[in-house]
């Protein structure tokens, strides 16, 4: 189309000083059978992606196909948000137990700004949303809006005050009770959290750039241990974009992304970028981007260490106003250049604030722009071996459907939160996924992970642990297990997925006379070692043997002291997974007078 070509050419002229030609990167369309206008999306701990339909309470789950391909994956609609809650631009995070918390919304069901204080938490196992009440103390949480949030290394969800009305506090969620604790600690310059982005640093502190008190030239650090803010240095360039804002305020800035070298790339809502070094606590001016880029937009730390981002006009664009398309897509190589990459099909019609990026377990980037065209970006770079997670302990025999399997190792959380935006969205992926690939078929299965020992980043050689649940429908046989963190897989560990086990009791029903024992055969088929136990209600019973390896049988002995009908239950347990089988025992009265035999004489 002529209009799209003209827009792309104009960008090429304006950014020539710092941008080099694209490498061999590609975009692939994602199937969208529900034809949803896709907006916010987050990666869940089972490898699926939860996608919200724009300005509705409807959510959909995208699962990769049998070969691990997301572009040809399957879609299912999941539970909708509580009635009256259909937010856009809000705080969100995946918690250590695998649930998703969302809070607030600059918009709610329409494009009218409302700054709602509603919230909800999603349980992917139960497929339910539960409403979460806003913080209540002090009574300044009437608005939450697009407040910024982060999950601290100890697993606590922290959310900023919105700045309206005057709220400069932080709220901490107890995810088990869904109650809040509020800290009134203020930043050194009294800045509030609206429009800011928070970046989790190695060691657990949180970095932000001030956008209200001194827009975009000062920064602060939050210390989770003391729950206090401190100044973290002046920025030699202005990062805050004043577009449409009163004097002394900024409309926001671009994403801040922690890279594998431990430094943070901060993209301004101006022509400026800056680099923060946590080791020295100092800022340095970065490369300049022309034209000025939008104050809101997504960025991702790619597995090869490059930062991929979307930018668009901020001031003085083709129409002389803020926030205008076309968008440009760039990769920052960490030192000397921004590399211009081809846009997705609708990129020239997008402003960057419409875009969202999510790093997938494959190392690709899922992109949405509030439209029906969902795209995946594939880049050519690769990770360094030292960035990989390392598995130090995991069972080499796994049972389908088993839960709470233990795994330990290092760098399970990756080197960064990776997928960033700022205040409008958070979709961090600094948690491990467990991926199992069957040797014979090549089919890929993701396990649901949870109970993370840390939600930090760049944890280095420190040991970390987690638990995972094996899908019931996983294929049996020799397989390869890897931990994936931010799209980077560990070295595989060879495991065997046992054939599904089964248990039955024969006969299913048996009649005896009172005082005669009943004997049942318990049949077990498994690919491992099964522990047996029995429960017979008011009837005394015992089982022997109590452990069976592979295929075998046991005898259930039930004492029939009292007449009546009884349900006998046998439970087998293997790798934390339990199955039960039942039989019925019918005890009849003796055919002769009870006085004919002494009590218990039938023994």
202 in Cβ contact with 212 (< 8 Å): no
Res. 538: pLDDT tops 50: yes
CA distance 489 to 435: 9
Per DSSP, 379 falls in state -
Give the pLDDT of residue 3. 28
Rounded distance, CA 275 to CA 271, Å?
14
Q: What's the chain's average pLDDT?
A: 88
134-182: pLDDT as tens digits:
998 766 788 899 899 999 999 999 999 866 656 788 999 999 999 999 9
For the chain, percent of residues with pLDDT exceeding 90: 68
The average pLDDT across 228-255 equals 81
Task: Dump pLDDT digits (tens) for 108-135.
Answer: 999 999 999 999 999 999 999 999 999 9
User: Residue 487: pLDDT band by 50, 70, 90 thresholds?
Assistant: very high
Question: For residue 52, what are the β-bridge partners?
Answer: 59
Q: What is the dihedral of CA 11, 12, 15, 17, to 10 degrees?
A: -160
pLDDT of residue 295: 63
Each residue's pLDDT tens digit, 47-62: 999 999 999 999 999 9
Residue located via tokens 């907006």: 39
Share of the chain above pLDDT 70, in %: 88
Give yes or no for residue 2 having a pLDDT over 50: no
Q: What is the DSSP string of 311-337?
A: EEE-SS-TTSSSSEEEEEEEEE-SSS-
Q: What values do phi and psi take at 38, rounded to 5?
A: -85, 135
Q: Select, from the ranges 200-204, 239-243, 538-542, the one with the highest average predicted confidence (pLDDT).
A: 200-204
Residues 6+ apart with CB under 8 A from 192: 160, 161, 162, 163, 166, 167, 168, 212
Whole-number pLDDT of residue 18: 41
- Mean pLDDT of all residues in 252-276: 91
pLDDT at 273: 92
Helix (H, G, I), strand (E, B) or coil at 78: coil
Transcribe 241-272 into DSSP letters.
Answer: --TT--TT-------EEE-TTSPEEEE-SSS-
pLDDT(602) > 70? no
Place of tokens 């429009």: 195
- List all residues 6 or more positions away from 416 whose beta carbon is below 8 Å from its beta carbon: 257, 258, 259, 260, 301, 430, 457, 458, 486
pLDDT of residue 132: 97
Contact 73, 60 (CB under 8 A): no
Q: What is the pLDDT of residue 6?
A: 30
Domains of the chain with bracketed CATH:
196-288 (no CATH), 387-413+430-497 (2.60.40.10), 502-596 (2.60.40.2310)
Confidence class of residue 245 from pLDDT cuts 50, 70 and 90?
low
Write out the DSSP string of 129-144: EEE-PPP-SSS--S--
pLDDT for 324 equals 76
What confidence tens digit (pLDDT) does each residue in 67-107 have? Answer: 999 999 999 999 999 999 999 999 999 999 999 999 999 99
DSSP code for 109: S
For residues 361 and 484, is the Cβ–Cβ distance under 8 A? Answer: yes
The whole-angstrom separation of Cα 328 and Cα 310 is: 6
Contacts of 527 (CB under 8 A, 6+ apart): 397, 399, 476, 496, 498, 499, 501, 550
Mind listing the pLDDT tens digit for each residue in 555-581?
A: 999 998 888 999 999 998 876 678 899
3-class DSSP string for 566-584: EEEEEEEEECCEEEEEEEE
pLDDT at 311 over 50: yes
Token pair recorded at residue 105: 């919304």
21-30, 149-158, 168-177, 283-292 — most confident range: 149-158
């Amino acid at each position: 189309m002529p209009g799209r070509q003209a827009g792309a050419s104009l960008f090429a002229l304006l950014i020539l000083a710092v941008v080099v030609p694209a490498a061999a990167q590609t975009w692939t369309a994602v199937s969208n059978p529900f034809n949803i206008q896709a907006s916010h999306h987050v990666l869940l701990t089972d490898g699926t992606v939860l996608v919200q339909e724009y300005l509705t309470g409807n959510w959909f789950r995208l699962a990769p196909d049998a070969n691990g391909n997301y572009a040809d994956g399957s879609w299912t609609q999941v539970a909708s948000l509580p009635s009256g809650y259909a937010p856009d631009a809000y705080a969100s995070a995946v918690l250590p137990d695998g649930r998703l918390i969302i809070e607030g919304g600059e918009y709610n069901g329409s494009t009218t700004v409302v700054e709602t204080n509603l919230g909800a938490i999603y349980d992917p196992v139960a497929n339910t949303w539960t409403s979460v009440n806003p913080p209540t103390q002090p009574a300044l949480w009437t608005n939450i809006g697009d407040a910024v949030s982060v999950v601290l290394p100890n697993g606590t969800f922290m959310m900023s005050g919105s700045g309206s009305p005057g709220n400069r506090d932080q709220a901490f969620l107890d995810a088990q009770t869904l109650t809040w604790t509020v800290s009134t600690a203020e930043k050194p310059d009294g800045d509030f959290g609206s429009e800011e982005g928070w970046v989790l640093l190695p060691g657990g502190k949180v970095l932000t750039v001030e956008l209200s008190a001194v827009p975009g030239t000062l920064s602060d650090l939050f210390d989770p241990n003391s729950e206090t803010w401190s100044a973290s240095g002046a920025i030699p360039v202005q990062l805050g974009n004043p577009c449409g804002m009163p004097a002394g305020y900024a409309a926001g800035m671009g994403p801040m992304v922690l890279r594998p070298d431990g430094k943070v790339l901060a993209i301004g809502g101006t022509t400026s970028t800056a680099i923060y070094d946590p080791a020295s606590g100092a800022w340095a001016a970065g490369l300049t981007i022309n034209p000025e880029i939008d104050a809101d937009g997504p960025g991702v730390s790619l597995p090869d260490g490059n930062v991929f981002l979307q930018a668009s006009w901020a001031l003085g664009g083709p129409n002389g106003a803020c926030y205008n398309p076309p968008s440009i897509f760039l990769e920052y190589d960490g030192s000397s250049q921004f590399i211009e990459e081809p846009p997705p099909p609708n990129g020239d019609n997008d402003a960057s604030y419409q875009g969202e990026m999510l790093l997938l377990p494959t190392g690709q980037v899922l992109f949405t722009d509030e439209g029906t065209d969902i795209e995946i970006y594939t880049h050519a770079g690769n990770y360094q071996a030292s960035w990989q997670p390392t598995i130090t302990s995991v069972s080499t025999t796994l049972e389908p459907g088993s839960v709470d399997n233990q795994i330990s190792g290092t760098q399970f959380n990756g080197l960064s939160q990776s997928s960033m935006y700022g205040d409008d969205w958070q979709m961090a992926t600094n948690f491990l996924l467990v991926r199992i690939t069957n040797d014979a078929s090549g089919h890929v299965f993701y396990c649901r992970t949870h109970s993370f020992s840390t939600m930090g980043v760049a944890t280095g050689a420190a040991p970390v642990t987690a638990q995972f649940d094996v899908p019931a429908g996983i294929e049996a046989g020799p397989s390869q297990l890897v931990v994936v963190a931010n799209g980077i897989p560990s070295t595989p560990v060879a495991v065997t997925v046992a054939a599904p086990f089964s248990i039955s009791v024969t006969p299913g029903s048996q009649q005896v006379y009172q005082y005669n024992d009943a004997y049942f055969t318990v049949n077990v088929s498994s690919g491992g070692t099964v522990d047996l136990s029995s429960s017979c209600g008011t009837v005394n019973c015992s089982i022997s043997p109590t452990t069976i390896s592979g295929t075998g049988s046991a005898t259930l002995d039930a004492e029939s002291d009292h007449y009546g009908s009884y349900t006998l239950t046998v439970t087998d347990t293997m790798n934390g997974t339990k199955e039960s089988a039942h039989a019925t025992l019918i005890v009849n009265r003796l055919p002769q007078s009870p006085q004919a035999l002494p009590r218990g004489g039938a023994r």
